[in-house]
């Protein structure tokens, strides 16, 4: 087989699905947020403008990174890791951290607020891919391969849990685990690891009473319709009446102060209401396309680092998307996680776009 040194075009399908999802997100953020933006800020376009701003920033990041050879990222790994660690600490510093609904997830600098955990996701997966692709690391040896990665992840996991943000912590853990798994961690070790963290996870669930209630309420949201079941019920009230074709773009009723966060965590419910099963299933299929191409890039990456990096990026987007849709459809417990590329979200969107930029760059180098 002949190999060309010449760079290929980036994966078109990844680019296409990303841009389509971004466009759908823009329209739906506007539709879902207009009512509450008008009520809370007397500005119909508040969230639309923000989304546009972050999208442009994200697009810039994506273009830059898609043209920046991915293996050069290795040298930034430790710096990024350290920066995100410090930012995660910063959310607890009064004046710098911003507390919303009792959670300290944001930091505010000037007029901007961002979630350090969004950077932490990227930093960790970059670190995991870089570390595990080192030639001197034997993945088969637990203390040599998985343990250091798990250790760093554990620190981040703990910091994010303190915010508290269980959903993001789980998504990060999941992403890192996928990287370790693909890197070749022996199955017996995975099994033993799973056994040893089960009690810890169990404790995390039970330690805060609201977690347990939330955890179980998705099974029967009508058991406690005003508290733990409220969000799921409102989400179902959006999806159900949507039917096959939806009630029509812009004609959601659930966005009128019934569904909390209609433009971020529960935007998928508004899509299901306004655009129906056709619209919602299309979004799912677009994500499927993105995952398929992402895994394809991982499979065909020229080196282990590229392969693991592509795996991590794909897994990160895929896990968040599937978890979010799982929550909105009442299939899994409610965790505050947004829908990548679609939900209104500043730093989250920026870093997702940057990751896709990296993915596109790897795709240029596939065999």
Partner 1 sequence: MSRSVVSNITVKKRLLFLFFIMALTVFLLILRLAYIQFVMAGDLQAKAWEQWNRGVPSRAPRGTIYDRKGRLMAGSASAESVIALPAQILDKEEAARLLAPILEIDEEKLFEQLSQKSASVYIKRLVDEETAQEVRRLNIRGITFAQEPKRFYPHGNLASQLLGFVGVDQGWSGLEIYYEQILKGRDGRFEFQADGRGRQIPQGIQRFIPPEDGHDLVLTIDQTIQFIMEREMDRVMLESQPKGIISIAVDPRTGEILALAGKPDFDPNRYNEFTSDSWKLSPVTDSFEPGSTFKLVTLSAALEEGKYRADEGFFCGGSINVAGSSIGCWTRGRGGHGAIDFLKVVLGSCNPGFVTLGQRIGADKLMQYLKAFGFGVRTGIDVPGEGIGILFSPQQYGPVEAATTAFGQGVSVTPIQQVMAVAAMANGGDLMKPYVVKEVRDSEGNVVRRQEPQVVRRVISEETTREVTRIMELVVTEGSGMNAYIDGYRIAGKTGTAQKVGPGGRYIGGEYILSFIGFAPAEDPQILLYIAVDAPQVGPQWGSQVSAPMYKRMMGDILKYMNIPSSKTQVNEAPKMVEVPNLIGMTLEEAGELLEPSGLLVRLIGSGGSILNQTPKAGAKVPLHTQILVYLGGEQVEGEVPVPDLTGKTMREAGEILGWLGLVMNSSGSGVAVSQDPAPQTRVNVNSVVNVEFRTPGDTDR
Least Cβ distance, residue 164 to partner 1 (angstroms): 26
CB 130 to partner 1: min, Å: 14
Buried b or exposed e, range 272-300, using 16+ CB within 10 angstroms: bbbbbeebbeebeebbebbbebbbbbbeb
Residue 39 or 99: the one with the smaller Cβ distance to partner 1 is 39
Q: Smallest Cα–Cα separation from 299: which of 313, 289, 310?
A: 310
Q: Which is nearer to partner 1, 90 or 241 (CB)?
A: 241
C-beta of 53 vs 71, nearer to partner 1: 71
Least separation in angstroms between CB 179 and partner 1: 10
Q: How far is the CB of 159 from partner 1 (least distance, A)?
A: 27
Residue 318 Cβ, how far from partner 1 at the closest point, in Å?
A: 5
Q: Which is nearer to partner 1, 287 or 351 (CB)?
A: 287
For residue 120, how far is the Cα from the chain centroid?
Answer: 11
Cβ distance to partner 1 smaller for residue 154 or 184: 184
Q: What residues make contact with partner 1 under the rule CB under 8 A?
A: 3, 35, 178, 181-184, 236-237, 239-244, 251, 253-254, 256-258, 272, 276-277, 280-281, 284-285, 287-288, 291-292, 295, 298-299, 301-304, 306-307, 311, 315, 318, 322, 325-326, 329-331, 367
């Amino acid at each position: 087989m002949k190999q060309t040194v010449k760079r290929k075009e980036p994966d078109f399908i990844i680019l296409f699905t990303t841009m389509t999802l971004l466009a759908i997100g823009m329209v739906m953020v506007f539709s879902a947020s207009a009512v509450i933006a008008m009520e809370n800020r007397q500005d119909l376009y508040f969230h639309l403008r923000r989304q546009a701003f972050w999208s442009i920033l994200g697009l810039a990041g994506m273009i830059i990174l898609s043209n920046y050879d991915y293996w050069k990222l290795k040298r930034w790994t430790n710096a990024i890791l350290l920066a995100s660690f410090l930012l995660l600490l910063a959310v607890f510093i009064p004046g710098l951290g911003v507390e919303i609904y009792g959670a300290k997830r944001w930091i505010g600098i000037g007029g901007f607020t961002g979630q350090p955990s969004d950077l932490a996701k990227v930093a960790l997966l970059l670190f995991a891919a870089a570390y595990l692709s080192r030639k001197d690391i034997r993945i088969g040896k637990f203390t040599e391969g998985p343990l250091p990665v798990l250790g760093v992840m554990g620190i981040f996991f703990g910091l994010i849990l303190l915010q508290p943000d269980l959903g993001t912590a789980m998504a990060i853990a999941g992403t890192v685990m996928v990287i370790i798994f693909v890197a070749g961690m022996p199955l017996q070790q995975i099994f033993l690891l799973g056994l040893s963290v089960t009690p810890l996870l169990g404790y995390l669930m039970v330690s805060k009473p609201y977690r347990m209630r939330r955890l179980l309420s998705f099974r029967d949201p009508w058991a406690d319709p005003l508290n733990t079941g409220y969000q799921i019920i409102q989400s179902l009230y959006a999806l159900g009446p949507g039917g096959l074709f939806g009630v029509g773009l812009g004609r959601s009723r659930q966005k009128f102060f019934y569904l909390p966060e209609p433009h971020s965590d529960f935007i998928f419910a508004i899509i299901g209401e306004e655009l129906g099963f056709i619209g919602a299933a299309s979004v799912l299929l677009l994500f499927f396309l993105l995952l398929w191409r992402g895994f394809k890039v991982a499979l065909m990456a020229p080196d282990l680092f590229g392969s693991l990096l592509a795996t991590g990026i794909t897994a990160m987007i895929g896990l968040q998307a599937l978890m979010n849709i799982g929550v909105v459809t009442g299939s899994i417990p409610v965790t505050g996680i947004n829908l990548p590329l679609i939900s209104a979200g500043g730093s989250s969107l920026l870093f997702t776009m940057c990751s896709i930029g990296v993915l596109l760059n790897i795709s240029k180098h596939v065999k």
